[in-house]
Amino acid sequence: GAGVSQTPSNKVTEKGKYVELRCDPISGHTALYWYRQSLGQGPEFLIYFQGTGAADDSGLPNDRFFAVRPEGSVSTLKIQRTERGDSAVYLCASSGLGSGDTQYFGPGTRLTVL
């Protein structure tokens, strides 16, 4: 079956621009997560959705970051006024139930801010 997909695979943008990163979870999975991974580090949690609502957004670094999941399936991570420090790989994961359930990751979007 199809896994988690993310688009684009690579995104290069200029400082100050707005970007959107898309995640399509495994069909039927109600829980969706966004993580950010810097070089040589493990993924760091950004936000968790259960259905359409953001159940935990405590990992978003500041108010330039926002994510939506309007129909409980596809999610979009939005970054306003990008900064060079936002450069990283943004990973999306989904799981069937949420807490305690295995999270399955997508291939990631590599964001480079020039």
Which of 13, 20, 26, 44 is the binder for another protein (CB under 8 A)?
Answer: 44
Radius of gyration of the chain (CA): 13
Backbone CA torsion sign across 61, 71, 9, 3? positive
Q: 36 or 79, CB closer to another protein?
A: 36
Per-residue mark of binding to another protein, 57-76 (x: CB under 8 A): --x-----------------
Which residue ranges make up the site for another protein (CB under 8 A)? 4, 6, 31, 33, 35, 40-45, 48, 50, 55-56, 59, 91, 98-100, 102-108, 110
